[in-house]
Structures are given as structure tokens and as C-alpha cells.
Amino acid sequence: MPVQITYRMARSDDSRDIARFMCIAGGGVYEFLFDDLIPFVTAIDLLSIGIGGEQHPISYRNCCVATLGGDGGIIAAANVFPADRLKQDQLMLLGSERHNHIRPMLELQDWGSMFLNSLAVDDAHRGSGIGASLLNWAEARTVEAGYDRLSLHVWADNLDAVSFYEARHFVRVGVASIPAHPRLSHHGGSILMRHAVSADGVAAANSL
């Protein structure tokens, strides 16, 4: 019997699970920024603090999770917020040298759009439509917030993710060149992608 997947808005007690999926979606960028910045404190530890509160754009209030059944474990999560919030967020300012290394990515944004900061699905459940459902949620959230487009960053060498978003009509807007670093092993830079959304388009997608 197929396992039922339930989608719901996140709660503060989901913070550590969401942080884990945020790290998966980031492809190592959060570990690069935060691991060992404070002795014995990991990126997941720091992200969990931001997610559990309401001050930062990564707050649980801006996240949706997928679970196995109504009360099962979290198997996927997404985080979306207005891109302009990145100009105000202080969480990313910890560790200026590391921050400066990825500054091209942080500065290459589609200001005035909603920003899909992260979307990740557990390995065992990929290919089952969960990512598409969470993207539908992000697009609906974009329309509800009064925005007409959704943007995101994806590593150029994450070919599966690039293909996934291109299949959903995201287009490449630009590429942030990130210098090579032993703690951040990606090549080709980070691609900024954008997709125009509308209430009619979201309704059609949700009816599929």
C-alpha cells in the first residue's frame, strides 16, 4: 500500500529537520559558512536557531514540509521569502572572510521577486513528485504575497536540479562566479534562475 505524503506548514519544533534539508539544498554552502565558526557548533546548529525563531527569512514560518502520513517523519522541506529580505538578514554576516568568498552569489539576486532559498527531498523519496509539490507551494506563496516571479540559485554542476527547474520553466538569468575553495567543491558557479508566476498558472499546476 503506497505511503501517504502529507504537506503542511512547518512548526518551530521542525527546525532541526528543516536545517538538515536546507544544508542538502545548499550543496555545502552552509557548512562552508558556519561549520567550526564557533567551536563545537555546526551549520545545522546555527541554522536551527534561525529557523526556530521568527526574525530571519529562514524562519519556520516561511517553510513547508512533507511528511510520511500526518505525524510521520519529515522527508522534504522548502523555504521561500521575498528576495529583498536578503538585504536585511544578519545571519549570513557571521564570519566575514567566508561571507566574502560567496558574496557574488549573495549579490546576484532578482530583487523584487520571491526567493526559493531551499528545496530538498530525502534520497529515498526523490522522483515521486514531492519536489514538484513543494515547488507548487512556493509558487502559490509567491502569488499570495503579491509577487509575479519566483527566483532561486542552483549550483551549475548540480545537473539534476538545473534540469528539474528548467522543466518547470525557470530560465537562467545570470551566473555568480565563486572561486575554488577546498571547503566548497563546486565548478561552474551558481546560476540565478527565474520563473514568472500567475494565479492562473498556479491554479492549473495545483489541479494536475
pTM above 0.75, yes or no: yes
Burial of 108 (0-12, 13-18, 19+ CB in 10 A): middle
pLDDT at 98: 85
The mean-pLDDT minimum among 90-94, 124-128, 196-200 falls in: 90-94
C-alpha cell at 75: 522527508
Q: For the CA atoms of the chain, what is the radius of gyration?
A: 16
Q: Is the pLDDT of residue 208 over 90?
A: no
Q: What is the pLDDT of residues 95-146, one digit of tens each?
A: 578 888 999 999 999 999 999 999 999 999 999 999 999 999 999 999 999 9
Q: Distance of CA 49 to CAs 46, 88, 119, 189, Å?
A: 5, 17, 19, 28
Residue 207: band (very low, low, confident or very high) from pLDDT cuts 50, 70, 90: very low
Residue 92: band (very low, low, confident or very high) from pLDDT cuts 50, 70, 90: low
List the Cα angle 37/39/42 in 5-degree steps: 65
Q: Distance of CA 4 to CAs 66, 72, 167, Å?
A: 10, 10, 25
Question: How many helices and strands in the chain, by DSSP H and E?
Answer: 8, 7
Q: What is the pLDDT of residues 36-86, one digit of tens each?
A: 888 999 999 999 999 999 999 999 999 999 999 767 799 999 999 999 998
In terms of Cα–Cα distance, which of 149, 6, 118, 111 is closest to 65? 6
pLDDT at 6: 94
Show the domains of the chain with their CATH numbers: 5-206 (3.40.630.30)
The answer to whether residues 35 and 42 touch, using CB atoms and an 8 Å cutoff, is yes
